[in-house]
Chains A and B, each alone.
Chain A
Amino acid sequence: MSSEPKEDVAKQDPREAVDRSCRGPVLFLAFSAVTWLLVYSVFAMLAGVKVHASGMMADSAWLAYGRIQPASQLALQFGFLVQLGLAVSAWILSHRGKTVLVDGGYLIFGGMLWNIGVTLGFLGILTGNASGLEGLQMPGKVLPLLFFGFVLVGLSIVQTNNRRTDEEMSPAQWFLFAATLWLPWVLAGSYLLIHFFNAKGVMANIVDWWFIQNFARVYLTFVGLGTLFHFLPALSGRQLMGRGYAQFAFWVMLLFGSVGGVGPGAPVPAWLPALSTVSAVFYFFGVIAVWVSLNQTISGASAADTADSLAYNLMRLAALIFISMGVLNVFFAFPGPGSVAEFTTYGPAMKLLFNLGFIGLILVAALYHIFPSLAGIDFSPKMTRIQTTAIVFGVLGATLPSALGGLMSGDAVLGSGFYFASLGDLLLLAGSAILFLNFLGAILFSIKNCGCLAGICCRGEKKEANA
């Protein structure tokens, strides 16, 4: 299954060849992702300010709260998380499989299509063409574009995985491979049902909930877990323990993460909320299995011994957030607690904690770790420390108070100001701005000084030179 070793590859360290094949595509996706994170934090900040000062920018339809809030969510989920997830998946699968990234050009081209799609969707929401559905806010017309963009990226990733050196796949590879396949299926299914077959009445919402559930509980979770399953053992220099637990978790989370997501009060027949409760309970088995496996792997390892203590600590924090959210999710899946939390700011707060605190932190930590080998230069350590602190405290500050506030205020959120405690948003904005500058600076510096990135723009010339 291994790729034909090329002349020039054979002469060099294979890992360097792998890195070189990843360099352009992964950095392109990662840089777009970081840009979208900045866009997200700017708009999330704006949305918070709009609520404090209700008269501000009241005459601009573009900047109505109802438009910038969903637009910022789109930037976060489809701009930042999906793209950085693809970048990290591509890196892990090629490194894990000890093979060069196949057809990196597809990855770049697909990434461009995806970026165009997200941009069009973002502008579409701001100009008032939102679909009105929570999970797929962007206008329906951009969904095919997103689909094809993702499929192109996915083609490259799946092919890379198929050419892995070792026949046996490890848990990290299962999870990332499955995630890469799952999103286009779900995206296409939702698009067809909602926009092509014109789902009638609440059917559109049911499909939408199905998409949200699959996107969060399967796609994003699998990207996050796949990254954890690769990096936690790799960074601590240990072997992954409990492969059987990982396999168990894989199928449980796939089966029960793909069903449900209907709130207890939703205007749909009672079996849908009941099924959601049941699937959430079974999903928890998978969460526990992941925890057992990871816990066995890293127990006793101290951060000081690890290859990259910052990335390692961030990932441990993310794993902690993952298990805490798992417990909370299963508790609030029951109709009693669920109807207390339903419609309050608890929901969006937990969504943000999931997106940034779990997936976001893992991916950013992975980026910290893979960036130097790709760009040939590390992030500025001081800026990295500041931005990491700002992002971590920003995430916790923007989510925990509003989650608590939502629960305390009960169903009546009308008076709750916690959600818009904008300190967290401000920290996030600062953190993502520094991350963006850090990234940009490192790339510019590396292009200017050491020419390590020559491969991105003038690969052809380099090949000729080698020949």
Chain B
Amino acid sequence: MAAKQNNEKIEATDAGVGGPKPWVFVLMVLTLYWAINYLDGHGGGFNAKVYAPHKDATVVASLKVQKTPEEQALEGGARIYRGICAACHQPNGLGNSNAGFPPLVNSEWVLNASPDRIIAIVSNGLQGPVEVAGQIYNKVAMPAQGVALSDEDIANVLSYIRRNIDWGDAHNLPLVTPEQVKAVRDNDAIATRSTAWTADELKQQFPDSQ
């Protein structure tokens, strides 16, 4: 024990002051350059939503083909249709003739060349009786949707019902644009109207489209 103590030299200062040579720091700078590149490639741009530890994930985002305006419009329309319209007109668009809900599929009101009339119906509602696809619906009382929906929403949902290939070949009309909707809704007759349309009034207001 005593031997241990005597042998041990606790030096007050450390003589060797040698430190890393300058090239070590050059190497560290190079490593820093590598690190920045590595983080660029694997760090996902410090984005909270990128999880893949490979460069691929960021590339993937740029690779995904942008959705066309048409697809966006139809998808938006489908969402609105499911949320609002499908309750009466059913998801398949066939309506429910027993309960007095007319179909949209192959309906002459929907598939009119000009969308003005159907824009007016969605905006202000419709009061029966009305003839759809050869059948007369007396109890129709469609509420006005114009307050809750923007021009774009109405355009999208109308595009969806007029251009839904699944509903039949006739449903292949061009997209309804928000401008078209705005034009109809800005019309005094519609903007000031507080009651629902009747079929006759519609035919009168938008005669050219029959």
**Chain A positions near chain B (C-beta within 8 angstroms):** 15, 95-96, 166, 168, 170-171, 233-235, 237, 239-245, 247-248, 264-265, 267-271, 273-275, 277-278, 281-282, 285, 289, 296-297, 306-308, 335, 369, 372-373, 377-378
CA A297 to CA B18, docked complex, whole Å? 11
* A275-B19 in contact (CB<8A): no
* B38-A274 in contact (CB<8A): yes
Complex contacts, A171 vs chain B, CB 8 Å: 14
9 A–B pairs (Cβ distance < 8 Å), ordered by A: A96-B10, A233-B11, A240-B15, A241-B16, A244-B18, A270-B44, A270-B51, A270-B52, A273-B53
A267-B51 contact, Cβ under 8 Å, with A237-B7, A274-B39, A307-B4: yes
Shortest distance from the beta carbon of B90 to any chain A beta carbon, whole Å: 41
Which residue on B lies nearest to A372, using beta carbons? B1
CA A220 to CA B130, docked complex, whole Å? 84
Shortest distance from the beta carbon of B11 to any chain A beta carbon, whole Å: 5
Interchain CB contact (< 8 A) of B39 among A265, A275, A296, A372: A275
A270-B57 contact, Cβ under 8 Å, with A170-B14, A233-B11, A281-B35: yes
Interchain CB contact (< 8 A) of A166 among B12, B31, B35, B52: B12
Complex contacts, A95 vs chain B, CB 8 Å: 10
A239-B18 contact, Cβ under 8 Å, with A96-B10, A271-B39: no
CA A278 to CA B46, docked complex, whole Å? 14
CA A267 to CA B19, docked complex, whole Å? 41
Interchain CB contact (< 8 A) of A307 among B7, B24, B38, B45: B7
CA A241 to CA B52, docked complex, whole Å? 45
Number of cross-chain contacts by CB at 8 Å:
123
Number of interface residues of B (CB under 8 A): 38
* B39-A242 in contact (CB<8A): no
* A271-B46 in contact (CB<8A): yes
Complex contacts, A274 vs chain B, CB 8 Å: 38-39, 42-44, 53
CA A248 to CA B19, docked complex, whole Å? 8
Complex contacts, B48 vs chain A, CB 8 Å: 269
* A271-B16 in contact (CB<8A): no
* A270-B16 in contact (CB<8A): no
Most buried by A among B14, B43, B45: B14
Shortest distance from the beta carbon of B10 to any chain A beta carbon, whole Å: 6
CA A242 to CA B54, docked complex, whole Å? 40
Shortest distance from the beta carbon of A154 to any chain B beta carbon, whole Å: 23
Complex contacts, A289 vs chain B, CB 8 Å: 20
Complex contacts, B7 vs chain A, CB 8 Å: 237, 306-308
* A307-B8 in contact (CB<8A): yes
Q: Mark B32-60, 1 if CB is under 8 A from A, else 0.
A: 00010011001111111111111001000
Shortest distance from the beta carbon of B32 to any chain A beta carbon, whole Å: 8
CA A15 to CA B10, docked complex, whole Å? 11
Which residue on B lies nearest to A234, using beta carbons? B8
CA A263 to CA B46, docked complex, whole Å? 16
* A285-B24 in contact (CB<8A): yes
Complex contacts, A245 vs chain B, CB 8 Å: 18-20
CA A121 to CA B31, docked complex, whole Å? 42
Is B149 interfacial (CB 8 A cutoff)? no
Q: Mark B175-207, 1 if CB is under 8 A from A, else 0.
A: 000000000000000000000000000000000
Shortest distance from the beta carbon of A411 to any chain B beta carbon, whole Å: 15
* A373-B18 in contact (CB<8A): no
Is B165 interfacial (CB 8 A cutoff)? no
CA A336 to CA B71, docked complex, whole Å? 40
Interchain CB contact (< 8 A) of A242 among B8, B19, B51: B19
Chain B at the A interface: mostly helix, strand, loop or mixed? loop
A269-B47, A271-B45 known; 13 new pairs, CB 8 Å cut-off, are A96-B10, A241-B15, A242-B16, A243-B17, A244-B17, A244-B19, A245-B20, A269-B46, A269-B49, A270-B57, A296-B18, A335-B54, A369-B4
Complex contacts, B44 vs chain A, CB 8 Å: 269-271, 274
CA A233 to CA B7, docked complex, whole Å? 12
Which residue on A lies nearest to B36, using beta carbons? A278
* B31-A269 in contact (CB<8A): no
A373-B46 contact, Cβ under 8 Å, with A239-B11, A243-B16, A244-B20: no
Most buried by B among A170, A234, A237, A270: A270
Complex contacts, B28 vs chain A, CB 8 Å: 282, 285
Is B5 interfacial (CB 8 A cutoff)? yes
Shortest distance from the beta carbon of B125 to any chain A beta carbon, whole Å: 47
Complex contacts, B14 vs chain A, CB 8 Å: 170-171, 233, 239-241, 243
CA A285 to CA B46, docked complex, whole Å? 25
* B8-A243 in contact (CB<8A): no
* A239-B42 in contact (CB<8A): no
Shortest distance from the beta carbon of B205 to any chain A beta carbon, whole Å: 57
Q: Which 5 A-B pairs have the closest CB atoms?
A: A244-B19, A241-B16, A307-B7, A270-B44, A271-B43
Shortest distance from the beta carbon of A375 to any chain B beta carbon, whole Å: 10
Is B64 interfacial (CB 8 A cutoff)? no
Which residue on B lies nearest to A311, using beta carbons? B4
Interchain CB contact (< 8 A) of B5 among A15, A168, A335: A15
CA A233 to CA B10, docked complex, whole Å? 8
Within 8 A of A (CB), among B65-103: none
Complex contacts, A369 vs chain B, CB 8 Å: 4
CA A340 to CA B45, docked complex, whole Å? 25
Is B13 interfacial (CB 8 A cutoff)? yes
Complex contacts, A270 vs chain B, CB 8 Å: 42-44, 47, 50-53, 57
Which residue on B lies nearest to A308, using beta carbons? B4
CA A96 to CA B13, docked complex, whole Å? 10
A282-B19 contact, Cβ under 8 Å, with A269-B50, A275-B43: no
Which residue on B lies nearest to A239, using beta carbons? B15
CA A171 to CA B19, docked complex, whole Å? 13
A264-B19 contact, Cβ under 8 Å, with A234-B8, A271-B44, A307-B8: no
Complex contacts, A306 vs chain B, CB 8 Å: 7
Complex contacts, A244 vs chain B, CB 8 Å: 17-20
Within 8 A of A (CB), among B103-118: none
Complex contacts, B35 vs chain A, CB 8 Å: 278, 281-282
CA A49 to CA B20, docked complex, whole Å? 49
CA A239 to CA B16, docked complex, whole Å? 7
